[in-house]
Amino acid sequence: MLNIVLFGPPGAGKGTQSEKLIQKFSLVHLSTGDILRGEIAQGTPLGLEAKKLMDQGILVPDEVVIGMIKNRIEANAAAAGFIFDGFPRTIAQAEALDTLLNGRNTPITCMLSLKVDDEELSRRLLERGKASGRPDDQDESIIRRRIQEYNNKTAPVAGFYHNQGKLVDIEGVGAIEAIFEALCDAIEARA
C-alpha cells in the first residue's frame, strides 16, 4: 500500500500534482482544503465555521481536520493507498495520522516536499485568484498570512517525517510535467 504525504507551502503545486499522481498510481486523493471547500459550498455548520478562518488565511482547528481524514480513511478501506494533500499541517495532525495508519498497519511511505520560493507562491496564488475567485487567493495580505501560518505551524512537520527517514525534497519551480516526473521517480524508488 502506498501512502504519500504531498507537502509544501500554499501554492506549491500540491493540488496540481495530486491530480496527476492519483491517476498514475490509482490512489485515493484526500485534500483537506477541497473537503473544507465542499463543506462551505454545502453551507454546513462546519463549513460556515471553517470559512471564517480560511478567508483570513488561518488554519482550521486540528480536531476538525483530523476527524474529516479519519472518516475518509475508514470510508475507503479497500483503497490501494492515499495521497494526503494539505494534511498534516501541524505536528498534532501528523501524530494523529501516524496513530490512525499504524493502527491499520499501513504507515506513511514517504513525504514529498515541494520547494518553492515565497515570491513565486504569491504570484501563482494571485493568478489563480483571478480565475477561481477563491477569497483566500485574492489579497496579498491574506496570502502573506497563509505563508506565515505555514512557516510557524506547518514547516516543522517536515522535521517530523525527516526523523522517520521519510522526507524527500523535490524542486517545485519549473514545468509541471518535469516536477511530476521527479515525484514519480521518488515514489517508485520507495514503493
Residue 134 among the catalytic residues: yes
Identity of the residue, 171 or 191, whose beta carbon is nearer to ligand B4P in the bound complex: 171
72 binds ligand B4P, rule: CB under 6 A: no
Residue 123 among the catalytic residues: no
Question: Which residues within the stretch 74-103 sit at the binding site for ligand B4P (CB under 6 A)?
Answer: 86-87, 89, 93
Question: Which residues within the stretch 37-66 sit at the binding site for ligand B4P (CB under 6 A)?
Answer: 53-54, 57-60, 65
For residue 173, give the DSSP letter: S
Determine contact, residues 30/15, Cβ cutoff 8 Å.
no
Residue 128 among the catalytic residues: yes
Give the ranges where the chain is alpha helix by DSSP (H).
Answer: 14-25, 32-42, 45-54, 62-75, 91-103, 118-132, 140-149, 156-162, 176-190
Write down the least CB distance from residue 183 to ligand B4P, Å.
11
Identity of the residue, 10 or 81, whose beta carbon is nearer to ligand B4P in the bound complex: 10
Write down the least CB distance from residue 127 to ligand B4P, Å.
6
122 binds ligand B4P, rule: CB under 6 A: no
**Other CB atoms within 10 A of residue 156 CB:** 12
Determine contact, residues 113/182, Cβ cutoff 8 Å.
no
Determine contact, residues 43/160, Cβ cutoff 8 Å.
no
Residues classed as catalytic: 14, 89, 128, 134, 146
